[in-house]
């Protein structure tokens, strides 16, 4: 009998069968409801911006792979996540040529400059976002009100602004709840915030929905639940303490929790596997650091929102956290 026994491989010969693209695809599925709500709240504007950043990221990834003479990596779906996340953090009426640049920067500078998937120090979407913030400070802080009546039939003028023209802001601009609190001392009702009835970046407004999508990922073990929990818990506790001892000048803890990009950042960006620590204790340190920075920047900083900078700083120190905090090895 001639048997085909010359095929050998190393153990283990069985695998769980969940691949890296499977994880990425699941994150995309989890983001889709958030995108759907963004389109529901902000109409065509949000749809166009999110689509632009997603296409921009995928194209950039593909071209960079080809130019490096490597097999393209768009099939691992990670560029899609970066594109969707970047779009969700931008104002709905953000000019698409700027959005496109943001996508290119996110992938080229945020990901490929470090060596591609698995090597990025920072969350690529936030790298794109922070560059846009520096380059286009006005466009990035030009807001529109949610649930405009003609949002499904008309696109806001600034979306199609030509490159290097100043966007023309039509109608009215709605201040975000964080800006309203920071500059006018006006607090928004926490319930309105949680349900996403307010103005803000395309995908950050409905905290409740984002939390539900996060629970889906956490249950499937495709997101480390400790990251959002530690961030949210530390933001809540710190602002509760400030309120307790500092009085009414400080924001309400529930307001802090449900406003701005905190939920989107905590659930989908700080939890970026590549840019966060690996060990349970390290993750808590990372989360508490980010949560603290969010409160510090929001309360004492010059800007109304600090989630982006807080996460980027957390990303920056996470290799050090992993180096310094090692779990006890069995039998030691």
Partner 1 sequence: MRRGGSNTYRHGIHPAENKSETNGIPIRQFPFAPLLIIPLVQHIGNPSKPVVHEGQEVERGELLAEADGYLSVPVHAPASGKIRRIGRVPSISGNMVDGIYLETSHSSAQEIAEGIPVDPEKSTAEEILAAIQNAGIVGLGGAAFPTHAKLKIPDAKQCRTLIINGIECEPYLTTDHRVMLEQASDIYRGIRYLIKATGALDVVIGIEGNKLDAAEHLKRSIPGDLPVRIQVVPVKYPQGSEKMLITSLLGVEVPSGGLPIDVGVVVVNVATTAEIGRLLPFGRGIQERVVTITGPGIRKKGNYLIPIGTPLEFVLQELGEPDKIGQVYMGGPMMGVAVSDPNISIVKGTSGILVDTNSEPGVDREFPCIKCSWCVDACPIFLNPSKLGKLARNEQYELMANSYNLMDCFECGSCSFVCPSNIPLVQYFRIAKKAVRKSKAKVTGNA
Site of interaction with partner 1 (CB under 8 A):
1, 3-16, 18-23, 76, 116-119, 221-222, 224, 273-274, 276, 278-279, 322, 326-332
Spell out the long-range contacts of 252-258 with Cβ–Cβ below 8 A and sequence spacing 24 or more: 252/187, 252/190, 254/190, 255/177, 255/181, 255/187, 255/188, 255/190, 255/193, 256/295, 256/298, 257/190, 257/207, 257/232, 258/190, 258/193, 258/194, 258/207
Closer to partner 1 by Cβ: residue 222 or 269: 222
How far apart are alpha carbons 93 and 174 in whole angstroms? 12
* Beta carbon of residue 326, minimum distance to partner 1 (angstroms, whole number): 7
* Beta carbon of residue 122, minimum distance to partner 1 (angstroms, whole number): 13
Closer to partner 1 by Cβ: residue 117 or 157: 117
Closer to partner 1 by Cβ: residue 5 or 134: 5
* Beta carbon of residue 289, minimum distance to partner 1 (angstroms, whole number): 18
* Beta carbon of residue 2, minimum distance to partner 1 (angstroms, whole number): 9
* Beta carbon of residue 212, minimum distance to partner 1 (angstroms, whole number): 22
For 176-206, the three-class secondary structure string (H helix, E strand, C coil) is CHHHHHHHHCCCCCHHHHHHCCCCCCCCCCC
Closer to partner 1 by Cβ: residue 149 or 331: 331
Angle between helices 207-219 and 20-42 (to 10 degrees): 170
* Beta carbon of residue 301, minimum distance to partner 1 (angstroms, whole number): 30
How far apart are alpha carbons 151 and 7 in whole angstroms? 61
Closer to partner 1 by Cβ: residue 119 or 152: 119
**C-alpha to C-alpha distances, 153 to 93, 148, 170, nearest whole angstrom:** 14, 10, 15
* Beta carbon of residue 329, minimum distance to partner 1 (angstroms, whole number): 5
Q: How many CB atoms lie within 10 A of CB 51?
A: 17
* Beta carbon of residue 110, minimum distance to partner 1 (angstroms, whole number): 15
Closer to partner 1 by Cβ: residue 80 or 96: 80
Closer to partner 1 by Cβ: residue 69 or 328: 328
How far from each other are the two terminal CA atoms of the chain, in whole angstroms? Answer: 52
Task: Please say whether the beta carbons of 233 and 222 come within 8 A.
Answer: no
SS3 27: helix
Closer to partner 1 by Cβ: residue 16 or 69: 16
**C-alpha to C-alpha distances, 155 to 79, 143, 145, 159, nearest whole angstrom:** 26, 14, 13, 7
Residue 331: alpha-carbon gap to chain centroid: 40
């Amino acid at each position: 009998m001639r048997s085909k026994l010359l095929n050998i491989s190393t153990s283990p010969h069985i695998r769980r069968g969940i691949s890296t693209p499977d994880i990425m695809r699941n994150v995309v599925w989890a983001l889709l409801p958030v995108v759907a709500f963004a389109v529901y709240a902000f109409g065509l504007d949000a749809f166009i911006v999110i689509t632009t950043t997603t296409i921009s990221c995928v194209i950039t990834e593909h071209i960079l792979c080809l130019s490096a003479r490597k097999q393209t990596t768009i099939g691992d779906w990670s560029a899609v996540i970066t594109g969707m996340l970047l779009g969700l953090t931008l104002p709905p009426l953000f000019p698409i040529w700027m959005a496109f640049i943001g996508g290119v920067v996110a992938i080229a500078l945020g990901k490929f400059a470090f060596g591609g998937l698995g090597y990025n120090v920072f969350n690529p979407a936030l790298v794109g976002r922070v560059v846009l913030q520096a380059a286009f400070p006005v466009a990035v802080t030009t807001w529109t009100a949610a649930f405009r009546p003609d949002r499904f039939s008309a696109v806001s003028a600034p979306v199609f602004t030509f490159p290097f023209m100043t966007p023309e802001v039509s109608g009215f601009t709605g201040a975000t709840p964080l800006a309203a609190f920071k500059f006018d001392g006006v607090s928004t009702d926490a319930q309105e915030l949680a349900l996403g009835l307010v103005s803000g970046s395309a995908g950050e407004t409905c905290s409740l929905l984002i939390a539900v999508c996060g629970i889906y990922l956490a249950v499937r073990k495709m997101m480390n639940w400790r990251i959002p929990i530690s961030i949210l818990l530390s933001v809540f506790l710190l602002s509760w303490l400030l309120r307790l001892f500092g009085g009414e000048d400080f924001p309400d803890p529930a307001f802090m929790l449900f406003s701005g990009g905190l939920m989107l950042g905590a659930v989908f960006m700080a939890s970026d596997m590549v840019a966060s620590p690996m060990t349970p204790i390290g993750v808590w340190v990372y989360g508490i650091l980010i949560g603290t920075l969010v409160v510090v920047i929001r309360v004492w900083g010059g800007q109304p929102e600090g989630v982006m900078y807080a996460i980027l700083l957390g990303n920056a120190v996470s290799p050090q956290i992993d180096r310094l905090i090692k779990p006890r090895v069995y039998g030691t």
